[in-house]
Structure 1
């Protein structure tokens, strides 16, 4: 099962529609979550027909305009729990697999409503006890490393978002590809890049979907890139060996930096998840060390 999530900044542009169709053709997801569509339901229905899919669901936010829509390839693979202007909540029911919860999420875009966004996210926690994954545009940053350019992100906003995820017992899933998902002001002194789009999961979902991979896909018709979550890792993901700590790493100062960084980044999360986070960080760092030491590698 795979899901494509994209803040497309409007489906009224035929080029954006073609890009959605091309992404679906290449990645073959079962679900597509589109944010900030700025069109009515008839546009989304035409997209569904163009894709040859069986269902779609739209959330109207301002009269005839729909901000959120979810399309699915086959019926009977999900059941709606709830929806609002900021989310669509589903129970995913795949054959021969345990049910789990998928929340398609759009955080309030207004900077003055950050606290509202955190409180709303926390309010979703009690809707189900199933393993949980949330994906979409959160309009929030988790660390200063989630931003490049212009002014630093206010630490109070980072702390508020971290606290909301901690209450929900959710942690960010590692993302393959470019580290930022949104940009503004390209070509000017105010050019900024941020990781506004992400996937967060609880430990139970991650344990039951240990092959899952998240990819950042650069797009042409929006200043947001698309996220592609593949729980079977069938789209060319690099197969990683199981984690094994190497004693030689203790001789490198970078090892301590990785552990401290991962432990700080996962502050407030489950102890088990923090251990997993440290293991993943060391695995990535260790792989880079081995590559740099390989014969013929470039410095």
Structure 2
């Protein structure tokens, strides 16, 4: 993290301060710029230096810049309720159906998924089986990494027609994982299922979401783009959630428990009331003043 922090520091115009926090295998680096600095210019400067740092980081380390929002950019919060879905199923529904749809809306910077269990394929090596076949855990890991992707295999021309050839290797089921070839020795093919147990599991959790003291829940948090009209963003998100409702499993629905639109409406009513009272007071004072002149 020190190398990343120092690489971002020099030669950035209008930079005020730099802070970094590391915990739970996560690192957050924050750069503050002078007021009035164009945010897109600032992000471009940071992005260039971040790209130079990434290549020097250890393998399997990933990261990027946060969305263009503010600490007060939380526009709407909702939970997934109803049905007999497990926490893992609710989280998958949020990650793969609801979140991608909401991120397409104008004014939405991002949608954070909170709570639940993120499903994953777990491969538990059988050390005895690996040793018996002369295979290392590194070989098993490389086989899993290189066989979980789709690749283009070129084109086949036939007169005026062209056929696109593609190899589909993305893992979709447990059987797909078990069928991955790890090694071929003495005419025998060794697959993942021969040297490891494959099962459905979940990624490491660093927190949880509870609601009303009734147990864990799965929450979606909509972040508004900096400078976006909060009321329009909230209205657009609500409309999209209604549009998605028929696509959800039977009995499952989204329940909104925080709405920035309500705050905006109350603020507008408060300002309107204050203005009307001020106008009335000024009118009374003007009448009294004119009456004294008469």
TM-score bucket of the superposed structures, by smaller chain: under 0.3
> Greater helix percent: which structure?
2
TM-score, with normalisation over the residues of structure 2? 0.25
TM-score, with normalisation over the residues of structure 1? 0.25
